[in-house]
Amino acid sequence: MSHPIDAASDRTSRPRRPSWSGRRKGAIASLVVLVLLLLPNVGPILRPYYAPSTSMVPTLVAGQHFMVSRVAYGYSRNTFDLFDLPISGRWPDWQPSRGDVIVFRAPFDHKIQYVKRVVGLPGDRVQLVGGRLSINGRLVPRTPLPPASDPLQPARKVASYRETLPGGVSYTILEMAGDTGPL
């Protein structure tokens, strides 16, 4: 005796693919979330920046665009440009480490932003001695590298070094000039 095929159970036993409109809604929702996360001046996680000068060459070239994590050291009252958060201090209170490249606002004008490398930590004494970086009275070790092109005058060669901070973080620097005086 033959049994009739149950069409309803046959349909439910196969995995259903989302409809075209369902996939489109999912893609749109993902795009909206991505835009909100990356939205300049508001994005809570990442923000696009650019290197405004040659001060970080060769790590960053003037005009180079890069993304900055807004959560790396926690949030503060001034994390966002369009509004202030109702908190004091930093939450959570994560601290930068030597070698981190950070973006921060100038204390005298919050419209100006700097891109710099952290070389000293609270309590450290940081100096330039004869054009060399000194931390707590000790010159930071550096290894000579082949000469590099001056970013402002590419035909001109400048000294290049691999500098190593206490704790082992190292990076390349270009020696554009000698002692530039007090910081």
Please list the active-site residues: 55, 116
Residue in this structure with the two tokens 């009275």, named with its chain if needed = 137
**Alpha helix locations (H) across the chain?**
7-13, 20-38
Residue 110: other Cβ atoms inside 10 A: 10
Residue 119: other Cβ atoms inside 10 A: 19
C-alpha span between 117 and 119 (Å, rounded): 6
Q: Which residues lie closer than 8 Å to 38 by C-beta, 6 or more apart?
A: 45, 46, 47, 48
Which of the 8 DSSP states describes residue 19?
A: P
